[in-house]
Amino acid sequence: MARQPGSTTEDDITNEVVARFAATPDPRLRQIMLSLIRHLHAFVKEVELTEAEWFSAIEILTRAGHLSDDKRQEFILFSDTLGVSMVVDLINHRKPDGATESTVFGPFHRLNAPEMPYGGNIAHLDKTGTPALIAGRVLDLDGRPIVGALLDVWQAQTSGLYDSQDPNLAAMHMRGKFRSDAEGRYLVRTVRPVHYPIPSDGPVGAMLRATGRHPWRPAHIHFVVSAEGYEPVTTHIFDSADEYLASDAVFAVKQSLICDFERHEAAEGAALRLGIAPPYYTARFDFCLKPASGAATVLDAQQRLAALGAG
Ligand SMILES: [Fe+2]
């Protein structure tokens, strides 16, 4: 028997809404919408959301939207701090043993970072950090070098801010694109990364304060490594000495991405060739890519931002 108009109750409203979406032609969209509605309704009923709380949520999302543009992405920050970004990462990147693990993309990537030569310095404007050389190779799962792999690198400067957060910084400071050489090697000249707080002047910051959480991320350098025929990996390398490794505000630390920054008091090797005065640090990290799996592969950084309309 057809339901009588106007008879919706808190017990049958969910089925009524689900039924309204049941004819969605795209099966994946149908699956997502039906599940979203069931979970949203269950959440609202479980906490018995008040009207004031509902309106507060609307205001929070509105503020997040107003704050977001091509330099700031408050929604990604919400996703990151709620752990959603890492759930998406974990279920989408069940890599075979040996492939470099991925982690959050974060809100600070920018398109069109400058191309840099082997050993190029992304931190030439950073006058307070300690120099660091990050070296390693890009390899396939059999340990063979991948020639010409693209490494898109970005990092906060020693102030703890990305260029996009600081109007006094030159655009594209602490960013660069590197290519692996004929032996799969790469070399990035930078400064030792520092821990930094995620932006806390918006609704994400308010949430962290209200819930007694700190905003700090352990020191890291971002990489997106890609090569023809391989699945790109979006990841970080983390400094093993950092005090926030166990409490990253965005839950992004994976054990395999932690590496040691070794301090040197005398110039040698690449540091000597590049004229780097001691003290400086070196870190080694090899990236291992797995073969592309066919049609649906990971979006690369540029595609992700373009999809967000932030290109
Ligand atoms: Fe970062």
311 has a pLDDT exceeding 80:
no
Dihedral, CA of residue 180, residue 181, residue 184 and residue 185, to nearest 10? -80
Residues 291-300: b if buried by 16+ CB within 10 A, e if exposed: ebeeeeebeb
Cis peptide bond prior to 279, omega within 30° of 0:
yes
Least confident interval from 59-63, 80-84, 197-201, 294-298: 294-298
Six-digit token string for 254: 């994976």
109 has a pLDDT exceeding 60:
yes
Mean pLDDT confidence for 106-123: 93
CA 72 to centroid of ligand 1, rounded, Å: 13
CA 232 to centroid of ligand 1, rounded, Å: 18
Per-residue pLDDT tens digits for 169-204 = 778 899 999 999 999 999 999 999 999 999 999 999
Per-residue pLDDT tens digits for 207-223 = 999 999 999 999 999 99
CA 162 to centroid of ligand 1, rounded, Å: 8
CA 193 to centroid of ligand 1, rounded, Å: 10
Q: What percent of the chain has pLDDT over 90?
A: 79
Give the pLDDT score at 93: 84
40 has a pLDDT exceeding 60:
yes
pTM of the model: 0.86
Total number of residues shown for the chain: 311
CA 179 to centroid of ligand 1, rounded, Å: 21
307 has a pLDDT exceeding 70:
no
Give the pLDDT score at 8: 81
Give the pLDDT score at 310: 37
CA 221 to centroid of ligand 1, rounded, Å: 7
How far is it, in rounded angstroms, from Cα 6 to Cα 31?
Answer: 27
300 has a pLDDT exceeding 70:
no
298 has a pLDDT exceeding 60:
no
118 has a pLDDT exceeding 80:
yes
CA 33 to centroid of ligand 1, rounded, Å: 32
CA 278 to centroid of ligand 1, rounded, Å: 26
Task: Tell me the Cα Rg of the chain.
Answer: 23
Residue found by looking up tokens 């108009």 in the block: 5
Which residues neighbour 205 within 8 Å (Cβ) at sequence distance 6 or greater?
198, 199, 215
Per-residue pLDDT tens digits for 240-293 = 999 999 999 999 999 999 999 999 999 999 999 999 999 999 999 999 999 997
Residue found by looking up tokens 């089925």 in the block: 15
DSSP assignments along 236-248, one per residue: EEEETT-TTGGG-
H or E element at residue 138: strand 131-139
Nearest to 257 by CA among 101, 61, 81: 101
CA 106 to centroid of ligand 1, rounded, Å: 7
